[in-house]
Amino acid sequence: MPKSLVLLCLFLLFFSFPARVNAQDVTGPDSPDRPDVSSWTLVSSSNISVNVSDSVMYYLGFDLEFQNPNNPNERVRQIRMLIPFVVVKSKGLLDKNYADAAVAYVTDGTERALLKDYATKSDVILYIRWSIESDVSRGTKKLIGENEVWFWNASGEWVYGRNLRINKLMPSETFSGFGNYPIIVGVKYSLSRDIYNSTEVPYSFIFIALRATKGGK
């Protein structure tokens, strides 16, 4: 197993605003509807995933950014979570004893198709909507106005707020027999201690990934 784990592609948009969870609490009748981006343009996408080795990884979700075709300065970011699954990129590492588990042998082409299928099965837990404009003096884009956040918490409620900072944690553990290097075991997003949503990788899946990393031993 390599000495370093590579965390792939999870970059939440953090704005330099103070967290104000109580500014707009649990979504009520006066709160705006969640953004409908079904007709918007997907401008960036990344997978929320963990590399256990060059040939073994598991997926936790997707991080997507959309642009309003009628107002190119308006953007929405989605975080979508799914039931974690393990991907093995070498048949020699695939343990046949786990063929019925959430494990898949993939090539680059089949991996893309698999992820596309899982994307349709994933659930949105976070929307962030904001607007930008050109900063001529710096030659970059800058935020204008407020950002809006819709967050699906662990209690099954949508929480709405403005100018909220989303905290992200990827907890890790060490596993006996697989070295002293920490293994990511899930991902957690939160607005506060009580307002959060988390996904954990089942230990059985982690052991499958670790066994595959060691060649099924």
For residues 161 and 191, is the Cβ–Cβ distance under 8 A? yes
pLDDT for position 140: 84
Task: Output the pLDDT for position 177.
Answer: 77
Beta bridge partners of 130: 75
Residues 195-206: pLDDT tens digits?
A: 999 999 888 888
The answer to whether 150 touches 34, Cβ cutoff 8 Å, is yes
Cα(75)–Cα(212) distance, rounded to whole angstroms?
40
| Predicted local distance difference test score (pLDDT) of residue 203 | 85
- Condensed to tens digits (0 to 9), the pLDDT of residues 108-140 reads 677 888 888 888 889 999 999 999 988 878 878
State the amino acid at position 162 in one-letter form.
R
Give the pLDDT score at 61: 94
In this prediction, residue 210 carries a pLDDT of 81
Which residues of the chain fall short of a pLDDT of 50?
1-26, 99-100
E-only strand ranges, the chain? 6-8, 41-51, 56-68, 71-88, 103-105, 123-135, 140-152, 158-162, 167-169, 172-173, 183-184, 186-190, 196-200
Tokens of 169: 């944690």
- Spatial separation of the C-alpha atoms in residues 126 and 114, rounded to whole Å: 23
Looking at residue 1, what is its pLDDT?
35
Domain ranges of the chain: 6-212
